[in-house]
Amino acid sequence: MVRSVVARAPPRAAARSCSARCAALDVDQQQITLSARPTDLIGGVPALVAIRNGVLDGATVRRERAFLTDWTLPPVGAVLLFQGRVSTVDAVGRTAARITVASDLVLLDVDMPRNVWQPTCNHVLFDSGCGLPKEAFGAAGAAGAGATPTRIPWAGASPAYAQGTLTVTGGANAGATATIKAADTTGLTLAYPLPTAPAPGDTFVAYQGCDHTLATCRAKFANAGRFRGFPFVPTPETALG
């Protein structure tokens, strides 16, 4: 997936920290640190929050060496030094994000075959293979008192939201998304912290999760006809002669 995202940062906001060049079909990698101010936005969302949410996943990165006759004039030409795609976001802090960029050869690094024999479902919840409408399993809510970056008290919470996702729609974290690690009747526990602790009344939308088992697919979602797992596949065994 290639996203047409243009991230414009303040001067000296991007710094290349290290690189690794390989021969043959090995993938070259470079690590880049991006600094951003709270006023720098991508799609109306603070840049670092957007990066944490995956806005740069698969984005193309080009690094060029420019030649100038005068610092006040546009470059007369440039030489391409490296081109690749954002592979991983290694860390996102308050002022900077560290990103690993891999060369386009990374597109060949695909596990084959695509579908494997396993007890759990191969589909991603709410994708085209699953077929369930995501909106039908989401609920709007507001954070209660005593919220932390990883724990959100919510009167409408239930275990059904475990392994689901949360999208913040109001407050200082607006636009942020997170994976729900666990849920009970008192609130939601997130897998990774939000940038700041939600204030009481901050709004969000929570979506239910799935453990990809046939029992959950049948009882919770009534979608067993689209189940793409093999719950009765034999367990791996080793025979020694």
Looking at the structure, tell me whether residues 104 and 140 fall in a common domain: no
120 belongs to a structural domain: no
Confidence of residue 38 (pLDDT cuts 50, 70, 90): confident
3 belongs to a structural domain: no
Q: What percent of the chain has pLDDT above 70?
A: 88
Range from 20-29, 39-48, 167-176, 180-189 carrying the lowest mean pLDDT: 20-29
Cβ atoms within 10 A of the Cβ of 226, count?
13
237 belongs to a structural domain: no
Q: What are the DSSP E strand ranges found in 7-129?
A: 14-20, 29-35, 41-42, 45-46, 60-67, 77-92, 96-103
Confidence of residue 114 (pLDDT cuts 50, 70, 90): confident
Confidence of residue 16 (pLDDT cuts 50, 70, 90): low
164 belongs to a structural domain: yes
Rounded Cα distance, 136 and 218, in Å: 16
pLDDT at 94: 85
Q: Is the pLDDT at 4 greater than 70, yes or no?
A: no
195 belongs to a structural domain: yes
Rounded Cα distance, 112 and 67, in Å: 44
Q: Is the pLDDT at 146 greater than 60, yes or no?
A: yes
Confidence of residue 105 (pLDDT cuts 50, 70, 90): confident
Looking at the structure, tell me whether residues 101 and 162 fall in a common domain: no
Looking at the structure, tell me whether residues 142 and 217 fall in a common domain: yes
Residue 56 near residue 47, CB atoms below 8 Å:
no
Looking at the structure, tell me whether residues 170 and 100 fall in a common domain: no
8 belongs to a structural domain: no
Looking at the structure, tell me whether residues 20 and 103 fall in a common domain: yes
pLDDT at 170: 93
Residue 217 near residue 227, CB atoms below 8 Å:
yes
Domain range for 31: 14-108
175 belongs to a structural domain: yes
Looking at the structure, tell me whether residues 30 and 83 fall in a common domain: yes
Residue 200 near residue 194, CB atoms below 8 Å:
no
Out of 58, 73, 108, a domain closes at 108
235 belongs to a structural domain: no
Closest CA to 1 of 135, 106, 112, 90: 106
pLDDT at 21: 61
pLDDT at 117: 87
Looking at the structure, tell me whether residues 73 and 159 fall in a common domain: no
pLDDT at 165: 97
Q: Is the pLDDT at 82 greater than 50, yes or no?
A: yes
pLDDT at 15: 55
CA distances from 205 to 47, 66, 156, 193 (A): 21, 46, 11, 16
Take residue 23 and report the two structure tokens written for it.
């021969």
Number of H helices, E strands in the chain: 2, 13
pLDDT at 8: 43
Looking at the structure, tell me whether residues 40 and 101 fall in a common domain: yes
pTM of the model: 0.70
Looking at the structure, tell me whether residues 102 and 138 fall in a common domain: no
Residue 175 near residue 45, CB atoms below 8 Å:
yes
Total domain count for the chain? 2
Q: Give 81 or 187, the one with higher predicted confidence.
A: 187
Q: Which whole number is the average pLDDT over 160-173?
A: 95
Looking at the structure, tell me whether residues 177 and 211 fall in a common domain: yes
Q: Is the pLDDT at 54 greater than 90, yes or no?
A: no
Looking at the structure, tell me whether residues 95 and 141 fall in a common domain: no
Q: Which whole number is the average pLDDT over 82-90?
A: 91
Looking at the structure, tell me whether residues 100 and 144 fall in a common domain: no
- How confident is the model over 115-140, as pLDDT tens digits? 888 999 999 999 999 999 999 999 99
CA angle 14, 106, 229 (to 5 degrees): 120
Judged by DSSP in three states, 49 sits in helix
